Amino acid sequence: MTTTLYRNGRIHSPADPFATAMLVVDETVAWVGADGAARTHLDAADEVVDLGDALVAPAFVDAHVHLTETGLARDGLDLTAATGRTALLDLVARRSKERPGEVVLGFGWEEDGWPDGGAPTPGELDQASNGTPVYLARRDVHTAAVSGTLLAADRSIARADGYDAGLVRRDAHHRARQAARSAVPAGRMAELREQALRHAASLGIGAVHEIGSPLISDPADFTAVLALGATPGLPDVIGYWGATAVGEAQALGAAGAAGDLNLDGSIGSRSARLSAPYADAPGERGRAYLDLETATEHVVASTRAGIQAGFHCIGDEAVRTAVQAIAAAAEVCGLAAVVGSRHRLEHVEMIDDLLIAELARLGVAASVQPAFDALWGGPDGMYVERLGPARGVALNPFAAMARAGVLLAFGSDSPVTPLAGWETVRAASQHRTPSQRISARAAFSAATRGGWRAARVEDAGVLAPGMRASFAVWEVPYELVVQAPDERVAAWSTDPRAGVPGLPDLSPDVPLPRCLRTVVRGRTAYADPGT
């Protein structure tokens, strides 16, 4: 048994909003309280940690991650700042010279507004890479540009559904991604996975939800990620396998047959399934990958097996199909069984009030990404460009879902947007549509305890006696504040009479906290080298 006493800090705990000390025994929080009372625990402590007035708060949970893809993206070409086709080709050429003979993997390009046309052709990529295979994923990772050399490595890519003159979507994209990944040595892939998980720990993230799928990776990759998360001293990994075969998900050790079981695609690639056409492509409504009957059968089978079901759904028609499937399953299995299963939906970007009410009635968790709104929301963002002003500003209605009592869990969909903690909380509290902003307190809960509850884990995400000791220590060189719920009064308050644990000031112009230490189940997963 190992006992650690943390003193002289600011402990974010509902058990005591003024706590300055915390006792951890093995993997569990044993006590929180005042420094004066902590003296009674000194003799029992194996280690005493002076926090130096740092903030101790529950570790973040990223509820939607593709860990191997994140590792590849961190090691690959960052294309998010590419200003055009020529710039993209220049980056490819430079990487090929830096790493001759290696496959070129790039992530993050968006062609909207490029002055020199869209994505490069296979021939142009071959020329830039001097014949090295190239795979360049669009920001949403639903479309990629590939080289002729990569196409030659698997000639089925060009014959598959979704191939369009060097751009790959749908089945063609899945084949191209697999061809590119197979060119990375297995040992290097393992290193990149671990580096990605250690990077998560450096951001105060204590757990991630790995969203696996036969169309993204393979069972061996999925189980390798789960095994990595079981390593002491690394963030926890909870895995979801996006296949309709419930037994397959169970055999792999998944928490559910959920996650990226796609009902549709993405708005950026115009493959999210809409009830009305895209504003910038009048003949296009996106793709529907599963029908209502198949989706319902999946939810019924998962409910009967006692595991979570779920779907990737973004467009309004896809979201409607997902909610109707869960409602139909409740008619078959009973409402109590469905609510108890806590099924989950990923993204849920286009949803109206009636469907939000159904989510709440059915006990469905919404795994959502605030960074999507920060990146693509607002009157001048990609959502409005694709969908028009009326629909474009109505996406990601976090406040409406929170008011209805829907369980929110926040994630990044990394590598679509970077792994993050406080940035996610700030994005939700500063939603580009003001009416859909939620309080920093609610956003912090969704980014911490919400992720655990979405995975049906109830003993984590709060620093209180008996709860899991997964937390982060933050340098916050200013007073903690409590956000007022009413915008007609001051937006932030330091009044201690509120009796509510304070949080860092998340106003847009205030620097975010710096992670000093991340502890997972009582073990240090990250320590800042400068402390």
My answer on whether 405 and 353 are in the same domain is: yes
The pLDDT value recorded for residue 501 is 85
Contact of 412 with 424, CB cutoff 8 Å: yes
My answer on whether 435 and 485 are in the same domain is: no
Give residue-wise pLDDT tens across range 131-188: 999 999 999 999 999 999 999 999 999 999 999 988 999 999 999 999 999 999 999 9
Give residue-wise pLDDT tens across range 409-421: 999 999 999 999 9
Residue 363, pLDDT > 90, answer yes
- Count of domains forming the chain: 3
Contact of 265 with 416, CB cutoff 8 Å: no
* Beta strands at 10-11 and 55-58: parallel, antiparallel or unpaired: parallel
My answer on whether 396 and 327 are in the same domain is: yes
Q: Which of 110, 80, 19, 6 is nearest to 50 (CA)?
A: 6
Query: What pTM, to 2 d.p., does this model score?
Result: 0.94
DSSP 469-518: --EEEEE--S--BEE-S-TTS-SEE--GGG-S--B----TTSPPPEEEEE
Burial of 283 (0-12, 13-18, 19+ CB in 10 A): exposed
In the listed set 427, 454, 481, which residue is the last one of a domain according to the structure?
Answer: 454
Answer whether residue 221 is part of any domain.
no
In the listed set 402, 437, 454, which residue is the last one of a domain according to the structure?
Answer: 454
CA–CA separation, 238 and 251 (whole Å): 14
Q: What is the CATH number of the domain that holds 131?
A: 3.10.310.70
My answer on whether 412 and 281 are in the same domain is: yes
My answer on whether 399 and 258 are in the same domain is: yes
CA–CA separation, 199 and 249 (whole Å): 27
Give residue-wise pLDDT tens across range 70-123: 999 999 999 999 999 999 999 999 999 999 999 999 999 999 889 988 899 999
In the listed set 398, 423, 454, which residue is the last one of a domain according to the structure?
Answer: 454
Percent of the chain with pLDDT over 90: 89
My answer on whether 507 and 361 are in the same domain is: no
Q: Is the link from the previous residue into 504 a cis peptide, with omega within 30 of 0?
A: no
Answer whether residue 197 is part of any domain.
no
My answer on whether 469 and 431 are in the same domain is: no
Q: What are phi and psi of 241, to 5 degrees?
A: -115, 115
Answer whether residue 219 is part of any domain.
no
Answer whether residue 100 is part of any domain.
yes
- Residue span of the structural domain in which 429 resides: 242-454
Joined tokens for residue 235: 């963030």
